[in-house]
Each structure stands twice: as structure tokens, then as C-alpha cells.
Structure 1
């Protein structure tokens, strides 16, 4: 190797060491990893939230570029509208029903999948299918299955004698909300199953063995070991599913479009109609802001009274 090549190689090695030294600094690591993620989060989440908050204080038409200052007029209009409070009530009903059904069914399925039996991996994969299928696809499949003229659900129920005639599950005022709750739970129950199953598999088997040797029954083991270990996870799951179901839009919109006769017009559907049917973006932004404040307040109260972060462990 010539002297010039040796000098070039040494210089390159020095540049490489300088580069590694710079990348090893904490602020450089943060700048290259955390800052881009925060930028994407801010653009995708924070910017629309700030835009909606600002728009809620203006009169914003869908077909006019100018904003007219309105102060709190939009909020006063929304709060004085009985349809808004009715949509809140329907959102609470939908969220509560969905959470109860998802948590009970998901927990039961997790306990079942935690047992040892043949083809357990196949059953787990099948249970995961509704969750990975896009919501729009699953919603249209549900519409086909519940069709009042040729739906497979009606055909099966008539065959076994549970009903005498076909039912419009998503078109009847008495059954629309219940049908939407069941359909949404069909898709999102597996989320609860995954979280609960992960916690179940972290419980040491020696605890159950010791309880069995001590004469504890299956119910005693569930009540004294399984349930206390699941308490913290279930509190978090209830909070997450409650917030997500309260804001759920897509599956309700596809299944019923808020009908029949506004039976399933939840707060998110109401905000959508205010913006894209009444073309009042300012008032729709006020609805979204009020929903955000309502959910934040509910979350604060939930954490204050239930303290889901304090998980009870049996070690």
C-alpha cells in the first residue's frame, strides 16, 4: 500500500470514528428517532385537532373560503340542540353495550384459548380473522348475512324454529342498535382476547398447581388467582374500548347510516351529518370539540375512581 493510500485509509477511518461518535450522542439519537415520529404524530393527529378547535369558534361553510368569527355561538347552538344530546345518549348505549359484550366474550375466549387442546393454534388463527379483515368488508358481509330476504342468519334461525319469518336486523328500530352492537363486537372482541390472553400466559403455573394441591376448586382458582391478575388489564381494556366505541363511525355508517329513524345516529354520525349534510363545518367542529372534552373528563373520572394502573398481582 502506498503512502497516499495509507493516508486516505487513515483519514476515512477518522471520519468514520467521528460519525460514530456523533451518532452515539443522546441528542443526535433523539433527533433521528423520536423527532420524526413526533412530527408524523403531530401532522396526523395534533394538526386536525387544533384545526377543529380553531374552526369551532368560526362560521365555516363547506363552500366558502372565508371564516367568520362566531365566538361561542357554535357551542351554544350545539348544546341547545336536543338532537345532539340524543346522539350522545345513543353513543353511550352503543359504547356500553359493545364494551360489556366484548369484555365478557373476549375474556371467556381468552380463558378458553389459554387451555391446552388439539388444534389450538388453528383456533387462534380463526378467531383473529374478523379483527384483521377491514371494517368496511366485514360490515358489508354482515349486511349480506343479515339481509331480510336472503340472509343466512334468517335462514338458519327459521330452519331451527327460533323465528317464523325473516327479520330486517339493521332496518328495524327495535333491533338496529342491538344488531350494530353485536356486529361491532364480532369484529373487535378479539382485541380483548389478545390482551387478556397475554396476561393469562404471564401468570406462573406454579400458583395454580399450589392452589390445586391445597384443594381449591376451579371456581376458587379463577376467583382468587385469575381474576385478581386480570383486574388491571380489564380496567385498561374497558377504558380503551369505551373511548373507541364511543367514537366509532365507520361500521355504524355502513350498516345503518344512522337509521332507521335516527335509531343509531350516534355522536360521530351526528357530527358527520352536521359537516357534510348541513355543510356547517364550524358547528361540526364544535361538536367534535365537545366530544373530546367529554371523553377527557370521563377518562379523568375513570382513573380517579378506579385507578386502573394499580394492578393487583398474585406472585
Structure 2
């Protein structure tokens, strides 16, 4: 006897399978305990789907910057030590045994990182991975921060424990960590900016020494409240109350401004263009002179306007790009960033970097 296949029977069969699946799920018989791990076929299927997805979506990622840039690696290292090492381990600091018992366990990044291309790592860091404990980046639009993490991950397997601590902690390497109160908060800041506010590793971190207390406090509050995107700053300031933010701003405002690091190696014509924009603006594009707000006289009138002289060119250029893209939303600078071309932004950033930082 042959069973005749009809659309009605197909529909009823599929409906029965679906209903049976729902009854099995709601019966509670499926074991979701992490201690049981995945079946081999389940692990193979999920891991294969993840790799395929990352490989496909990474095709949309832009070309990476030079990943051997020490400043880029240092920015990634500081965040990795605070936000990633407890799960993934680090040189001289093995993975947390509790995390190793999760399902699936987080990978040890000291091995097998070469299995992933830079673009694939970017995709994973930016968006995380579903059905695991891997979260997406706190500020996924900050591609500069994500590339910093990728640069560090590519370097990680080569680092000895002492080199890792130096890259991640700067002047705080080897000193006791933890505790509470102002000294603990300052130690967290000093890992990147130094206690003197002059930063480290070239242009890795912006210089804070010599900025006004009002400007520093405004930035710290913006990061703490999530109004200014940036995982590298949002993570360390979360949980700090306003009194602590004020104390940190007061400390760095009291640090003396040192000699400027010098202008980057750019053509004289570029520096001339940058100086002209800083002093005169661009009338045709309705861009005011930068010094009308960021010059010494203007800052004396409004200490919320930050000083730019002696700041790293790469940092200034990045901030102008964030204004241009709408990631930083201060209305006046948002408009100016939109009206400056990338070449003009690079020129004015280089000019300010070459100016002497004075008290």
C-alpha cells in the first residue's frame, strides 16, 4: 500500500513535528546545565556556524590601519587587561578556572590567534558572539578603539609576562593594584595617562596635564554618563561618583604642562594651512578660527573650552573625525567637523601638535 503525499499531509506532518518540539522544550526535559557541555555534533554545528558568519560579515570591514603601531597596541592592551584578561587569560595570568568551566569556554588568546584574520577579529570584537559570554564592544561605532584591540590581540602571543604588564599598565606595572578611594582611581588613570598626565608610548593617549579642571570634568562626566562614546574611557569611570570625577579632574589640572611632543613629520605647506585655519578659519566654508575658542584669551573667558596646543596630532584628528561622523554631538564642533575636509583636519591637528604647551 502506497501512502499518497498531499499538501495537507505535509502540512499536518510539519505541524506535528513543530508541536512535538514545543512540548519537548516546555517539558523541561532538555538539560541546559553548563556542566554537561555540548554534544559533539552541537559544538561542531555552532562553532562552524560562528566561523562561517564571521568569515562572511568580515568582508564588509574596512582595511585595517598598520597593526604594528606601538601606540595602537598600547591602547588595546590597557583595555584588554581590565575587560578581557579575566576570561581569556594573559601572559603570566592564566584564564580564570571558573570561566574555563563555562559552555563554551572562552578561547585562550595566547594561542591560535593566527587562525583569525584582522578583519575577522574586528568583527568579533565589534559585535561579540551570540550564545557565548562574548559581548559586543561598548561603543561599536568607535572603529579606532576596536582596531587598537585587534592590534594588541595580534601581538599578544609574542609577549612575555613582563612585556605584557608594561604595555598594559605603563608606569603602574609591578605596583599593587586594587583597593578603593582616590589613590585607586588615580592608579587606574595613571596606567594610561601617567600620574603626571603626559601619557606614554608616543601618541597612544591624550595629554591631560595643563587642561582646565572644568574641561577635564566635563569630559569625565560625558564618558561616565555615556554621552561621549568610547569604551576605553567609559569602562574605567563607570561606578565613580561625581566627587571622585572632580578629584581626578583637579589632580590632572594641577599638573604642569610640559614641552610639546613636536609636530608630526608633515610638509611645511600642510603646517601653513593648519596655522591659517587655526588663526583665520575658512570663510568660504563658514569655519571660524580655532583660536577664537581654543586660544589662551578665549579659554580664560570659558574654561570649558579645552586647550589644543601641544596635544597629539593623531588624537586631535581622531576627535575631528568623530565630530564629522556625528559620534560626538556637541553642536558647534559637530558643524565644524562636518565642514572641514579630512586634509584640512589633518593640517590643523598637525599645527596644534607643534605648538609649545605653556602653563
- Relative to the length of structure 2, the TM-score reads 0.23
Which structure carries more helix by proportion?
1
Task: Report 1 or 2 for greater relative contact order, CA contacts < 8 Å, sequence distance ≥ 6.
Answer: 1
Which entry has the higher C-alpha Rg, 1 or 2?
1
